[in-house]
């Protein structure tokens, strides 16, 4: 019990459970799942599906933050990856065997690979600026945050590019075994990372670099190489998220895709209990964080908070959650609650 | 002595996660005295200071300042009461000016008519006056980082004095100072003592302790062994009090003939780096301990950094095991069997939040690569072995290394390197800030490793240590090697070579 109470994922879990409970109260149909056309439908499934891209971005961000860095360009990378994929797939209308069909401009596999390579290159750029040039991570990635949005707009010509090629929609809208395919993508990425962190020494290395880069280098870690790789992975994860998002909305919007997603991702990582000062990190925590954010967003819509104040409500909830995660605050709170009670007992 | 009792502690007790760090310690500090606090690592010196200065509240016991009971809740509260502390590592902001550092958080303000603006002129005047009290005349508007550590230390003391302090606590103030600087610091301490201040002084250097203190309190395992006047406690008795047993004479090296036969492990020819180290020749054989003697800033550390690939040499050549090599980073050096315990344990050595086990496994794992992962069982086995072999005192191997005392942290860093089974070990000030017994344990470990064929490059500012353990002594001055001396040379011979005009 003591161990459970001290578990680092306790508070994210409690938060998520509370949010789900609030939903269940306001919306009796919240937990209802329907089986239609071989798929599961319901609010919870919806939340899972929508949280998947954010969870992907947050996973990449977790590793970057663990190395004492930060990557605020992920939103722009999402837009770039979406634009590259949408451009290369397109979906021209052709008549084949007397039937009108949409075909991909390039094979879909090539288009997806190209989008992911471009996203990874974005990460490489960030990583080189941070690890080789020695820029502060927030400044280094600020460059791509601004420039990347511009690149995405150049690619799309400032327009929203619509995709007509149906197979591509599977990434963001398809179902596998009754569950949204995007959930499987996020789960697979998490699984690979989890394996890397527990079965290889990468987790130890990333923590050591985040806690004390000088000592890590002296101990023989290739700390620059590992840092670069972490940024490359972060870019790659953002690219995957970009594919899922553009597939989901069947288009690529250079202006708005992934807008402010970097902030949600950082928030998800923090909600999951990873400190921005680097070092110890929790991948599962970041996934929980992403689920919390998505549940919160859904809750605000579903309980009918007027749109003009929903940002404020979201901010207030996040503020309270952050406070509750702080051990110092909880100790202070216990002091306020317990002390008057004890005084009352003495009287 | 009719000295006035300023600070008194009775029965101080403090536990950390079950471990008793202080148990019922009594302590007295008199005005106009320098009081030395002595003890091995983990004896409770740091904890006592932290309790006195309000960093940790005591679990039991009481504190009285000038007869009044006090309960400082924070260092700031202690400072308001008149207890100022200068910590082991200089705790100032290098990016602020000297004057700003002295008055940080308490900038003098102009009157309401001046819109409460910061009174810079007064601040600089006061800063200059304070430093003048310490016989230091420097430009207080320059950045702190532009001055050497010794001056920064003085600034820290000036800051401590700037609040009407009755008690000045100095935690290992001399660990990064050279001899002249230490002497200057002592002059200041004596002067402050004569002005009636009560000074508490923690050090590992016995000689310095005897030079400056009047009264000595010895701690061991969290308990007070006793309080003595300096005259009552000759060095041998002091060491016995600290260690709890009489210390045998230090083991020296007298088997240098055997070592000379070893093959050459490393050979550097004219290795150097502009602005840091003038070209140096150096050879190191199997089973040999080569000492590097020289004062602070003589290029000792720079030499170690070049050999280990932390800095890139821009001249000369390096041969390791007969192979022509160039190290661009430590990883390459490690692959060729080198290992290095750095000078700044806290900044370059320990990975604070990781456990003792992970810290020990780190270098070996780094050499094995990411995918060839040491299982937790192997890590545990490795850690248990070294914890036992080096006598590392820790609650268990999963304790974060930051919770260990300095000497034990250093042993963990040493264990990290021994785990890689190196052929050649560079030790840069391995015994700095470590108590006498731990120092000797570490030295004995090093010597026994050398007997087993390890080549050791031993850098230390404590010349008696260098002379005692080395088979050969490389003497450095002003970023150059000025000569080499055989193993059993006297300290005088080394200093003579350092002092000789080139």
The ipTM value here is 0.79
| CB contacts, 8 Å: A204 with chain B | 354, 358, 361-362, 365
Contact A222 B354 (CB under 8 A): no
Residue B349 sits at the chain A interface (C-beta within 8 Å): yes
Nearest by CB: A200 against B334, B362, B371: B371
CATH architecture for the domain at B5-243: 3-Layer(aba) Sandwich (3.40)
At A80 the pLDDT is 94
Contact B351 A200 (CB under 8 A): no
Enumerate the β-bridge partners of residue B339. B425
A251, A86 Cβ separation under 8 angstroms: yes
In whole angstroms, give the CA distance from residue B318 to residue B340: 17
A67, A233 Cβ separation under 8 angstroms: no
At A185 the pLDDT is 93
Contact A204 B362 (CB under 8 A): yes
Contact B366 A218 (CB under 8 A): no
Sequence-distant (6+) residues with CB within 8 A of A43 are A23, A27, A29, A30, A31, A32, A298, A302
In whole angstroms, give the CA distance from residue A16 to residue A295: 8
How close, in Å, is residue B133 to chain A by CA atoms?
38
B345, B406 Cβ separation under 8 angstroms: yes
Q: How far is CA B84 from CA B155, B160, B166, B199, B357, in A?
A: 13, 5, 8, 10, 37
Residue B299, classed as helix, strand or coil, is coil
Q: What angle do CA B242, B247, B253 make, to 5 degrees?
A: 130
A274, A280 Cβ separation under 8 angstroms: yes
In whole angstroms, give the CA distance from residue A80 to residue B182: 61
How close, in Å, is residue A199 to chain B by CA atoms?
7
Where are the strands (E) in B443-489, listed by range?
455-459, 472-477, 480-486
How close, in Å, is residue B367 to chain A by CA atoms?
7
Q: What angle do CA B153, B154, B159 make, to 5 degrees?
A: 100
DSSP label at residue B325:
E
Q: Is the pLDDT of residue A327 over 60?
A: yes
Class for the domain spanning B275-337+424-440+454-502: alpha beta
State the sign of the Cα–Cα–Cα–Cα dihedral A168, A173, A179, A183. positive
Indicate the pLDDT class of residue A58, thresholds 50, 70 and 90.
very high
Return the residue of B nearest to A199 by Cα.
B373
In whole angstroms, give the CA distance from residue A285 to residue A321: 14
Q: What angle do CA A314, A320, A326 make, to 5 degrees?
A: 135
At B18 the pLDDT is 67
At A52 the pLDDT is 93
Residue of A219, A222, A277 best to disrupt the B interface, most CBs of B under 10 A: A219
Closest CA to A315 of A281, A264, A274, A280: A264
| CB contacts, 8 Å: B373 with chain A | 199-201
In whole angstroms, give the CA distance from residue B155 to residue A180: 64
How close, in Å, is residue A159 to chain B by CA atoms?
44
A243, A85 Cβ separation under 8 angstroms: yes
Supply B334's token pair. 């490690």
At B89 the pLDDT is 64
Residue A217 sits at the chain B interface (C-beta within 8 Å): yes
**Dihedral angle computed from the Cα positions of residues B376, B377, B380 and B386, in that order, rounded to the nearest 10 degrees:** -120
| CB contacts, 8 Å: B353 with chain A | 207, 211, 279-280
Overall average pLDDT of the A237-249 stretch: 92
In whole angstroms, give the CA distance from residue B217 to residue B142: 39
Contact A217 B334 (CB under 8 A): no
Overall average pLDDT of the A31-52 stretch: 84
Q: Is the pLDDT of residue A86 over 80?
A: yes
Please list the ranges in chain B whose pLDDT falls under 50.
1, 247-259, 501-502
Nearest by CB: A202 against B335, B367, B370: B370
Enumerate the β-bridge partners of residue B317. B269
In sequence order, what DSSP letters do the residues of A50-70 get, joined into one string? HHHHHHHHHHHHHHHHHTT--
In whole angstroms, give the CA distance from residue A60 to residue B250: 55
Query: For chain A, what are the domain ranges?
Result: 38-315
Supply B499's token pair. 């002092």
In whole angstroms, give the CA distance from residue B402 to residue A124: 34
Indicate the pLDDT class of residue A187, thresholds 50, 70 and 90.
very high
At B248 the pLDDT is 46
Reported as a single tens digit per residue, the pLDDT across A258-303 is 888 988 899 999 888 888 888 889 999 999 999 998 888 888 887 7
Residue of A215, A216, A230 best to disrupt the B interface, most CBs of B under 10 A: A215
Q: How far is CA B223 from CA B26, B38, B67, B465, in A?
A: 9, 12, 23, 29
At B1 the pLDDT is 47
Return the residue of B nearest to A197 by Cα.
B370
At A345 the pLDDT is 44
User: Look-up: residue for tokens 């005692």?
Assistant: B468
At A62 the pLDDT is 95
Sequence-distant (6+) residues with CB within 8 A of B411 are B390, B391, B392, B438, B441, B442
At A127 the pLDDT is 94
Reported as a single tens digit per residue, the pLDDT across B378-433 is 889 989 888 888 888 888 888 888 888 777 888 888 889 988 888 899 988 887 76
Sequence-distant (6+) residues with CB within 8 A of B234 are none
At A346 the pLDDT is 42
Backbone angles phi, psi at A39, to 5 degrees: -125, 155
How close, in Å, is residue A59 to chain B by CA atoms?
20
Indicate the pLDDT class of residue A234, thresholds 50, 70 and 90.
very high
- With 0-12 / 13-18 / 19 or more C-beta atoms within 10 angstroms meaning exposed / middle / buried, residue A345 is exposed
Q: At what angle do helices A261-271 and A310-325 cross, to 10 degrees?
A: 30
At B272 the pLDDT is 86
Return the residue of A nearest to B363 by Cα.
A219
In sequence order, what DSSP letters do the residues of B89-126 get, joined into one string? S--S-TTSBHHHHHHTT---B--GGGTT-B-HHHHHHH
B280, B301 Cβ separation under 8 angstroms: no
A141, A133 Cβ separation under 8 angstroms: no
Residue B421 sits at the chain A interface (C-beta within 8 Å): no
Query: For residue B244, how many other CB atoms are within 10 A of its CB?
Result: 12
| CB contacts, 8 Å: A205 with chain B | 365-366, 370
Closest CA to A272 of A3, A16, A1, A4: A16
| CB contacts, 8 Å: B351 with chain A | 207-208, 211-212, 215-216, 219
Whether pTM exceeds 0.80: no
Residue of A8, A205, A210, A218 best to disrupt the B interface, most CBs of B under 10 A: A218
Pairing of strands B289-293, B455-459: parallel
| CB contacts, 8 Å: A229 with chain B | none
Stretch(es) of chain B classified as CATH 3.40.50.300: 5-243, 275-337+424-440+454-502
Return the residue of A nearest to B331 by Cα.
A220
Q: How many CA atoms does the CB half-sphere of A321 hold within 13 Å?
A: 28
User: Look-up: residue for tokens 């840091």?
Assistant: B276
B272, B280 Cβ separation under 8 angstroms: yes
Q: Average pLDDT of chain A?
A: 85
DSSP label at residue B89:
S
> Where is mean pLDDT largest: A155-159, A208-212, B283-287, B323-327?
A208-212
Percent of chain A at pLDDT > 70 equals 94
DSSP label at residue B433:
T
A241, A248 Cβ separation under 8 angstroms: no
In sequence order, what DSSP letters do the residues of B46-72 get, joined into one string? HHHHHHHTTSS--SEEEEEETTEEE--
């Amino acid at each position: 019990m003591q161990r459970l109470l001290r578990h680092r994922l306790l508070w994210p879990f409690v938060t998520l459970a509370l949010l789900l409970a609030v939903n269940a109260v306001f919306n009796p149909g919240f937990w209802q799942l329907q089986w239609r056309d071989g798929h599961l439908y319901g609010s919870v499934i919806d939340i899972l599906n929508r949280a998947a891209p954010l969870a992907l971005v947050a996973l990449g961000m977790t590793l970057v933050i663990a190395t004492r860095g930060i990557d605020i360009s992920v939103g722009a990378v999402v837009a770039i990856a979406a634009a590259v994929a949408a451009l290369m797939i397109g979906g021209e209308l052709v008549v084949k065997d007397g039937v009108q069909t949409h075909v991909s401009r390039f094979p879909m596999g090539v288009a997806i690979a190209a989008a992911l390579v471009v996203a990874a290159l974005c990460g490489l750029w960030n990583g080189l600026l941070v690890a080789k040039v020695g820029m502060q991570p927030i400044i280094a990635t600020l460059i791509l945050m601004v420039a990347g949005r511009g690149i995405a707009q150049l690619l799309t010509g400032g327009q929203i590019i619509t995709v007509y090629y149906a197979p591509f929609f599977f990434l963001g809208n398809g179902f596998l075994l009754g569950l949204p395919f995007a959930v499987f993508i996020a789960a697979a990425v998490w699984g690979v990372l989890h394996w890397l962190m527990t079965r290889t020494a990468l987790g130890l290395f990333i923590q050591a670099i985040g806690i004390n880069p000088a000592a890590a280098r002296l101990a023989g870690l290739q700390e620059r190489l590992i840092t670069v790789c972490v940024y490359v992975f972060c870019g790659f994860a953002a690219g995957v998220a970009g594919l899922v998002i553009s597939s989901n909305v069947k288009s690529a919007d250079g202006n708005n895709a992934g807008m402010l997603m970097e902030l949600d991702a950082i928030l998800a990582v923090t909600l999951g209990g990873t400190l921005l000062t680097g070092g110890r990190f929790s991948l599962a925590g970041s996934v929980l964080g992403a689920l919390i954010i998505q549940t919160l967003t859904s809750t605000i819509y579903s309980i009918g908070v007027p749109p003009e104040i929903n940002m404020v409500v979201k901010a207030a909830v996040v503020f309270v959650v952050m406070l509750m995660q702080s051990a110092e605050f909880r100790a202070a709170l216990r002091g306020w609650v317990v002390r008057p009670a004890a005084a009352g007992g003495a009287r | 002595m009719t000295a006035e009792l300023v600070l008194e502690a009775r029965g101080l007790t403090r536990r950390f996660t079950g471990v008793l760090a202080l148990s019922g310690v009594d302590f007295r500090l008199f005005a106009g005295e320098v009081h030395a606090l002595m003890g091995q690592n983990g004896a409770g010196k740091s904890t006592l200071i932290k309790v006195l200065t309000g960093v940790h509240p005591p679990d039991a016991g009481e504190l009285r300042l000038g007869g009044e009971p006090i309960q400082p809740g924070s260092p700031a509260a202690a400072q308001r009461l008149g207890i100022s502390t200068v910590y082991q590592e200089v705790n100032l902001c290098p990016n602020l000016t000297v004057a700003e550092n002295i008055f940080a958080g308490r900038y003098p303000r102009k009157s309401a008519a001046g819109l409460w603006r910061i009174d810079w002129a007064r601040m600089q005047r006061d800063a200059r006056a304070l430093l003048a009290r310490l016989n230091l005349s420097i430009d207080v508007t320059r950045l702190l980082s532009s001055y050497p550590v010794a001056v920064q230390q003085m600034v820290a003391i000036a800051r401590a004095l700037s609040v009407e302090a009755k008690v000045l606590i100095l935690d290992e103030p001399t660990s990064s100072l050279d001899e002249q600087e230490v002497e200057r610091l002592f002059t200041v301490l004596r002067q402050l003592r004569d002005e009636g201040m009560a000074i508490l002084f923690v050090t590992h250097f016995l000689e310095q302790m005897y030079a400056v203190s009047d009264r000595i309190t010895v701690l061991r395992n969290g308990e007070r062994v006793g309080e003595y006047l300096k005259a009552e406690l000759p060095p041998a008795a002091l060491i016995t009090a600290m260690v709890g047993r009489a210390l045998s004479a230090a083991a020296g090296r007298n088997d240098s003939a055997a070592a000379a036969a070893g093959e050459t492990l490393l050979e550097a020819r004219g290795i150097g780096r502009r602005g840091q180290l003038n070209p140096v020749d150096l050879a190191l054989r199997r089973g040999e301990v080569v000492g590097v003697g020289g004062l602070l800033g003589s290029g000792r550390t720079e030499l170690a950094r070049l050999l280990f690939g932390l800095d890139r040499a821009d001249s000369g050549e390096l041969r390791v095991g007969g192979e022509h090599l160039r190290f661009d980073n430590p990883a390459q050096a490690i692959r060729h069997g080198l290992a290095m315990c750095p000078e700044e344990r806290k900044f370059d050595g320990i990975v604070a939040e990781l456990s003792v086990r992970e810290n020990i496994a780190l270098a070996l794992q780094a050499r094995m690569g990411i995918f060839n992962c040491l299982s937790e069982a192997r890590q545990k086995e490795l850690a248990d072995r070294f914890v036992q072999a080096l006598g590392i005192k820790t609650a268990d191997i999963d304790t974060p290394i930051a919770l260990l005392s300095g000497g034990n942290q250093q042993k963990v860093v040493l264990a990290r390197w021994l785990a890689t089974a190196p052929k050649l070990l560079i030790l840069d000030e391995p015994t700095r800030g470590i108590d006498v017994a731990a120092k000797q344990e570490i030295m004995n470990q090093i010597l026994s490793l050398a007997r087993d064929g390890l080549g050791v490059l031993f850098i230390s500012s404590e010349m008696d240590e260098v002379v005692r353990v080395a088979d050969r002594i490389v003497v450095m001055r002003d970023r150059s090697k000025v000569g080499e001396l055989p193993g059993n040379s006297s300290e005088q011979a080394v200093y003579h070579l350092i002092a000789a005009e080139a």
